Amino acid sequence: MSIPHTHTFLRTTGGGMLLDVLIVIAVVIALWFAWVAVGGPAQFAASPEGLFLDAPTSETSTNNTGEDAFQNNFWHTEKQTSTQSPLAAYVTMRVNAPGGIADAEYVEIALSSSSPTSMTLTGWTITSSSLHKTFTIGNGISVLHQGISGAPENIVLEPGMHAYIISGRSPVGASFRTNICSGFLSAYQTFTPPLDMSCPPAQALIGRNASPDTACISTIESLPRCSATPRNTTVSASCLATIKERVSYNTCVSMFEKRPDFSGPLWYIYAGSLSSFWWSSDILTLSDDTGQTVASLSF
């Protein structure tokens, strides 16, 4: 009686296994049809990653959404805007590179008259890409008195003003703003670029009644602008003494300092270097005190 029971067990077990196999085959066939329905073989062939229906790309990985996308866009914008100063649109720069002579090489920086604001150069830097040198602009003297130490102050360019930044040392020992009397400084020092020679006439400094000598008056009237050296060498000693005493830079400043047009639109700024600040081919960058680029020049 036990033998029939054994055959029944084996028959039942075999039928269950067959049913499981059929179910698996049916599932596989259903998945295959579903894969074909979504373009299976074509997707597989087109995908460079084989099994991926849509291969990951750099665009997919960087086009984030939500908070990550906001942070990425924020930092990208900050990086772009923080490198250039808002004044960059109003500042121009040109260079004079005479071949390694510090006292003769200079950069000219000009602030457009259409600029909405002035700019304080003190604390700004000029960097040479080739020599890896950086010059930080210091203070200057707004009203220079020859032979007298003035109080240093910030160098400020108002709209329409410009500045020469010279690599070498200052002939007068400081950076300074020009004025209508500055040309007299050229009598004893050499300036590069040359100072403007539009001083008041000598007779305005001396006065028409300074000398009763007709020849002396004529000599004074014929003096070149910004000069105390008469063309006529036969003038009297007293006339020469009068000219020497009254026709000078300091006299001019004391007489005209209060005039509205006394100060000029130009600063002479000196780096005080004994050697050249840049090569004949270089990139110079002007940066403000926050590190933003105001102007850059390649030559």
pLDDT, mean of residues 169-180? 97
Question: For 61-80, how does the pLDDT look when each residue is reduced to its tens digit (9 = 90+)?
Answer: 334 333 332 223 222 222 33
How many other β-carbons are positioned within 10 Å of the β-carbon of residue 97?
20
* Higher pLDDT pick, 39 / 269: 269
* Higher pLDDT pick, 59 / 167: 167
Record: fold of 87-180+259-298: Immunoglobulin-like (2.60.40)
E strand or H helix that includes residue 126: strand 125-128
Question: For 179-237, how does the pLDDT look when each residue is reduced to its tens digit (9 = 90+)?
Answer: 999 999 999 899 999 999 999 999 899 876 666 678 888 888 899 999 998 887 788 88
Question: For 121-146, how does the pLDDT look when each residue is reduced to its tens digit (9 = 90+)?
Answer: 999 999 999 888 999 999 999 999 98
How many other β-carbons are positioned within 10 Å of the β-carbon of residue 88?
15
pTM of the model: 0.71
Two structure tokens written together for 5: 């029971």
Give dist(CA 290, CA 292) in Å, integer. Answer: 6
Query: Is it true that the peptide bond before 265 is cis, omega within 30 degrees of 0?
Result: no
Q: Residue 176: helix, strand or coil by DSSP?
A: strand
Q: Residue 49: helix, strand or coil by DSSP?
A: coil
Two structure tokens written together for 35: 């894969």
